Structure 1
Amino acid sequence: MSEDSVWLSEAVRRIEADYNRSADTHLIRVDLPRHPGITLYLKDESSHPTGSLKHRLARSLFLYALCNAWIGPDTCLIEASSGSTAVSEAYFARMLGLRFIAVVPTTTAPPKLEAIRFYGGEIHMVDDPRSVYQVARNLAHDAKGHYLDQFTYAERATDWRGNNNIAESIFAQMAHEERPIPDWIVCGAGTGGTSATIGRFIRYQRHATRLCVADPMASIFHRHFADRTVTTLPEARGSCIEGIGRPRVEPSFVPSVIDRMIAVEDHESIGAMRAISRHLGRRVGGSSGTNLWACAGIIAEMAAAGRSGSIITLLCDGGERYGCTYYDDHWLAERGINWSSAAASVATLFENHARSAEA
């Protein structure tokens, strides 16, 4: 074997060994006293070593690139990211002793930037989020490196048929619940990779489960789902919810495997985030709030129709990285995000009638 082949084999072994040392993420059951026939489950992706759902994606992207021989012992790695994917990729780059550069918008939460640097990554900021792609390509070209390109490879780097992907994990963990086949799985879309994996797995396993994607109102994905000719966002201002929603339709977004999309305003995402954080006794991120708001709407529809069942959604990351943004009332007020009524609305899901009457 050549030296590069030996290095590649060792790189794959290290990544697989890291996965083998990690337990699966938890599935948290949330009872809904007002709707006893409906149960909500939260797949807690914040328990990954790098603290978010993107740990799964980063691992898959590294293995995909390694097995395509796109990465060698001296390759500089570059990624365009809103933060969380870059944090996880910096972790794996450090594991392999490789230089890593994250191209991120200037609006990225500072704690995410600190986490990227903690794992040895470098930061390249851009003012216009729409320019991250080209800037990343240019940096990769100049450094003779590799652009990991999560937005293109997310839907193909993960084995959607199984191999411990998030969908297989969800259904395995649900096996002993009273309603093991969920009526709905709700997730967001940043690259589109997670929704593509879940949607394909549902069809491959012939489950009756439907997939709903919760999308920020200021995102292109839900517009494209409704009208496939719409591919870019006309508005200049995007959502403040990091990690999901995009100004253009990404190559990894596969609308045909999605059954429904729900557009969510930023104040609804923040309110739902605050409500579930209060209920759990710990902070979650903004995209988790987006997911939960969509779940609340589906729960209300099921209850009105007299249907029972289970719903699963994702806690994409923890809230520790958003203390200076989503959990800062002054920061929210400056941006005109009035979240209180949305939080109160979602909080009723977790209250019983007696407690509500006493309040």
Structure 2
Amino acid sequence: MQHTRTGDARVTSPVHPVCPAPTIDVDRSDPAYRAWLKESVRKVQADANRSADTHLLRFPLPESWGIDLYLKDESTHPTGSLKHRLARSLFLYGLCNGWIRPGKPVIEASSGSTAVSEAYFAKLIGVPFIAVMPRTTSSAKTRLIEFHGGRCHLVDDPRTVYEVSARLAAESGGHYMDQFTYAERATDWRGNNNIAESVFEQLRLERFPEPAWIVATAGTGGTSATIARYIHYSQYDTRVCVADPENSCFFDGWVTGSNDVSCDSPSRIEGIGRPRMEPSFVPNAVDRMMKVPDAASVAAVRALEGAIGRRAGGSTGTGLWSSLKIVAEMLTLGRSGSVVTLICDPGDRYLDKYYSDDWLAGQGLDIRPYAAAIDAFLATGEWPDHAG
């Protein structure tokens, strides 16, 4: 299922909740606090300064198609995922707003990868970190959070992560980071080496330097907002497509124009898909959305391993499936150009899920029709009708 925005269909962006002021327990003019703040900001900025840019990899397509497909490999960040960029921005935002304070914990609601990255930055500046996550979060992620010095607070109902995080922050005098509200505003979308600026710079010497499409997936919605805003700001003609998994309300909210849609079942594709329209998702900025079956996401991420020898998480498969469908549409229309999507995190975090046939069977997911569709498309250039 897919939709392109036409006519006057609009989605009104949700109102951002006001972040409650933290308990005033520190004199912000105190020299000791100002010294701690300056040193903390320096450490976070230094992490960016010593980190190289991530690679832009090519997915092999027949040269005769006249279409290039790229994957921005965000799994090579120090904490192994796209969320490293977000966590760095959120920490700088929280520090510069005076919300993160010495000795007080940072609390985050997360499905795992953001929490891994935030635990890293919390350890870097010497504050405690608590991740509030669904109990179904992969064990590899919880181990990584604990490796970086964080503590995991697991909940049975994923819909409660917001209120539990806020409660823990209030009880501890800490700061609830709230990525689902602040992701889109904490990132500098005008430039400063954000992910969009990096993609366009890396494409500069390619045969199609301005991509026809960039395909993103949405957890907070911060990445799609950053990419779309940068494109509009830079006056490119590139379009942005957001691929949404099952058990997520973003697609329905985008299509219907409602902020009140919800989903009772948790997403099986970790890191993306949400039970509510998150405040940080900016639907009016994107051009198109696709709803992707979870079995198709898994089939695509396994096809990625066969194509370039890299394992990635399920969210990468969601974006890749949509990218391949866009490539098929371009072929049908006789258009050349380039398409870009993301490798969001490494597959070794999900060996017991997306790379486990037992897990697939337990979830009732049959990836064989989707794997066959990908193989047929790459062999013939025609998208099978049954693949949707």
Decide: shared fold, TM above 0.5: yes
**Secondary structure at 1:284's aligned position in 2?**
coil
The CA distance in 2 between the partners of 1:277 and 1:225, in whole Å, is 31
Name the counterpart of 1:282.
310
- The one-letter code of the counterpart of 1:325 is K
Deviates more, 1:37-46 or 1:236-245: 236-245
1:349 deviates by 5.0
CA shift, 1:217, in A, is 2.7
Do the aligned partners of 1:275 and 1:344 also contact (CA within 8 Å) in 2? no
Secondary structure at the counterpart of residue 6 of structure 1: helix
Corresponding position of 2:131: 102
Partner of 1:160: 189
Alpha-carbon distance, 1:30 to partner: 2.1
Candidates 47, 55, 65, aligned match of 2:94: 65
Q: Which runs of 5+ in 2 are unaligned?
A: 1-29, 382-388
Greater mean alpha carbon deviation, residues 10-19 or residues 342-351: 342-351
- What do residues 175-219 of structure 1 show as CA deviations (whole Å, max 9, x unaligned)? 110100000000000001000000000000000000000001321
Residue equivalent to 1:300: 328
Q: What is the letter of the counterpart of residue 197 of structure 2?
A: E
- In the alignment, structure 1 residue 193 sits paired with structure 2 residue 193: no
**Among residues 347, 362, 368, which one is paired with 1:340 in the alignment?**
368
Change (3 A) 1:45 1:22: same
Alignment pair present for 1:56 and 2:85 = yes
Shift, 1:347, TM fit: 3.4
Residue 310, structure 1, aligned to residue 352, structure 2: no
For residue 79 of structure 1, what is the amino acid of its counterpart? E
Q: 1:344 to 1:149 in 2, by over 3 A?
A: same
Runs (4 or more) in structure 1 with deviation over 4 Å come to: 348-353
1:6 equivalent to 2:39? Answer no
Q: After superposition, where does 1:1-359 map in structure 2 within 5 Å?
A: 2-33=31-62, 36-234=65-263, 236-351=264-379
Tell me the distance in 1 between the aligned counterparts of 2:357 and 2:60: 29
Q: Distance in 2 between matches of 1:348 and 1:88?
A: 38
Determine helix, strand or coil for the equivalent of 2:53.
coil
Contact 2:74–2:345, Cα closer than 8 Å, also in 1: yes
Helix, strand or coil for the counterpart of 2:191? coil
Match of 1:357 in 2: none
1:351 Cα offset (Å): 4.6
Q: CA offset at residue 348 of structure 1? A: 4.2
RMSD: 1.3
Q: Deviations over 1:152-192 (max 9, x none)?
A: 00000000000110000000101110100000000000001
> What amino acid is the match of 2:178?
D
Question: For residue 313 of structure 2, what is the amino acid of its counterpart?
Answer: G
C-alpha distance in 1 between matches for 2:303 and 2:103: 47
Per-residue deviation at 1:229? 2.0
**Counterpart secondary structure, 2:65:** coil
Report if the CA contact (8 A) 1:109-1:322 is conserved.
yes
CA contact (8 A) 2:65 2:331 kept: no
TM-score by length of 1: 0.96
Aligned partner of 1:28: which letter?
L
Q: CA deviation at 1:35?
A: 5.4
User: How many angstroms apart in 1 are the aligned matches of 2:81 and 2:375?
Assistant: 24
Q: Work out the CA distance in 1 between the residues paired with 2:142 and 2:81.
A: 14
Percent identity of the aligned residues?
58
Q: Is the 8 A contact 1:34 1:352 kept in 2?
A: no
Offset, 1:36: 2.2
CA distance in 1, matches of 2:259, 2:41: 39
Q: Distance in 2 between the 1:279 and 1:31 partners?
A: 7
Report the Cα distance in structure 2 between the residues aligned to 1:155 and 1:116, rounded to whole angstroms.
Answer: 23
Separation (CA, whole Å) in 1 of partners of 2:278 and 2:64: 37
After TM superposition, give the deviation of residue 75 of structure 1 in Å. 1.7
Q: Deviations over 1:289-333 (max 9, x none)?
A: 000110111111111111111000000011000011111101111
How many residue pairs get aligned? The number is 352
- Secondary structure of the structure 2 residue equivalent to 1:78: strand
State the alpha-carbon separation in 2 of the partners of residues 35 and 136 from structure 1.
Answer: 52
CA contact (8 A) 2:158 2:266 kept: no
Distance 1:104 1:35, change over 3 A: farther
Q: Which amino acid aligns with 2:176?
A: Y
Rate the CA distance shift 1:35–1:103 in 2: closer, same or farther, 3 A: farther
Provide the TM-score with structure 2 as the length reference. Answer: 0.89
SS in 2 for 1:160: coil
Residue 34 of structure 1 contacts residue 351 of structure 1 at CA under 8 Å; is this kept in 2? no
Distance 1:345 1:88, change over 3 A: same
